[in-house]
Amino acid sequence: MNVFQHHDRSFENNRYVYPVISRRSRGASIGIDLTHERCTFRCVYCSELAKREGDPVTQEELSASADADKGAHPQALARPAAMDVLESELKSALGLALSGQLFQLAQFRETPPAFRRLNDIALSGSGEPTLSPSFAEVCRLIRRLGDAARGSGEWPAPKAVLITNATALHLPRVQRGLEALGPEMAEIWAKLDAGTEAHYLSMNRARVPFSLVLDNLLAEGRRRPLFIQSMFGVLEGEPPQPAEIGAWIGRLRDLKAGGAAIRGVQVYTSARSSRGGPFQPLPDEALRDIAGRVRDEAGLPAAWYGASGGMGEA
């Protein structure tokens, strides 16, 4: 397994924190798996579905949890984080990455020289991180540790990447977290896998409407610049249809025309599909073509990431 495919979320018996070497981050990314158990989606390609409890979260549940910043809140959608454990794990992983000791560990020894740098702390994981009642508190912790690392000169430009499906970006508690990170630290990678409601339901199998995703992307893109992440693959033996790709590019154009600042579009495919599963990776040439269409038809920068390590910019 090459170092970019090592995305194991278990690291030194940690409960929350797991470093990875990321092609998209072009360096080490320290992941925080904040919401193990819940998601608003049940994506056909998700590698974590087996661990998930219950059905996807609905729009009604999302609204009811809007201000659940505390674990005791009866409408909280996920368990609160044990902040003392998370802080200890995060400090330890940051120390390893900033000192370079991380790259001496067996699983990271093959890291190419250009990637031997800490790029970010990523709020991601095996569920949707914005569903955590601890989201804002964790953002405040990242801000505090990032500021300290910047102050000491160890990490001149600390960055936190939120990897999200965008369904809860409108909630006040999520906005409080992003505000705590501030524009200099917060970077958002938001999912948009479809251009039509039908494809959205096939890919993301959500119980929240597609319009909520689109509305949230537009509103968030007007507040802060976004990267859009879009998954393409062969679903039940069918590659993505040209009309669907056209509709998806239309959504990107609509977001841009509506005033959303889109810094780039990441076209990727599943690297972890099981053989014979319903979702199989798309070949590099097809991903390259889609990224080229984004550049030509939406006027947005695009990059593609293949299943076996290939990547490029359109």
Which residues are at the interface with ligand SF4 (CB under 6 A)?
Answer: 39, 41-43, 46, 48, 127-128, 165
CB of 201 to ligand SF4, least distance (A): 13
CB of 248 to ligand SF4, least distance (A): 17
* Cβ nearer to ligand SF4, comparing 48 with 215: 48
* Cβ nearer to ligand SF4, comparing 18 with 103: 18
* Cβ nearer to ligand SF4, comparing 11 with 189: 189
| Dist. CA 30–CA 21, nearest whole Å | 9
* Cβ nearer to ligand SF4, comparing 43 with 194: 43
**Cα 126–Cα 248–Cα 187 angle in degrees, nearest 5:** 45
| Dist. CA 76–CA 243, nearest whole Å | 39
CB of 31 to ligand SF4, least distance (A): 12
* Cβ nearer to ligand SF4, comparing 165 with 273: 165
CB of 42 to ligand SF4, least distance (A): 5
CB of 193 to ligand SF4, least distance (A): 9
| Dist. CA 258–CA 54, nearest whole Å | 36
CB of 91 to ligand SF4, least distance (A): 26
Question: HSE-up of 270 (CA within 13 Å, CB side)?
Answer: 20
| Dist. CA 150–CA 163, nearest whole Å | 23
Identify the CA nearest to 23 among candidates 307, 305, 269.
305
CB of 182 to ligand SF4, least distance (A): 25
DSSP annotation of 251: H
Token pair belonging to 13 = 């018996």
Q: Distance of CA 182 to CAs 160, 220, 224, Å?
A: 10, 14, 10
Token pair belonging to 188 = 């958002």
* Cβ nearer to ligand SF4, comparing 39 with 286: 39
CB under 8 Å to 50, separation ≥6 — which residues? Answer: none
DSSP annotation of 314: -
* Cβ nearer to ligand SF4, comparing 111 with 165: 165
The region, left, alpha or beta by phi > 0 then psi within -120 to 50, assigned to residue 218 is: alpha
* Cβ nearer to ligand SF4, comparing 88 with 196: 196
The 3-state DSSP class for residue 208 equals coil
| Dist. CA 314–CA 267, nearest whole Å | 10
Q: Distance of CA 79 to CAs 43, 74, 128, 167, Å?
A: 22, 11, 12, 18
CB of 230 to ligand SF4, least distance (A): 12
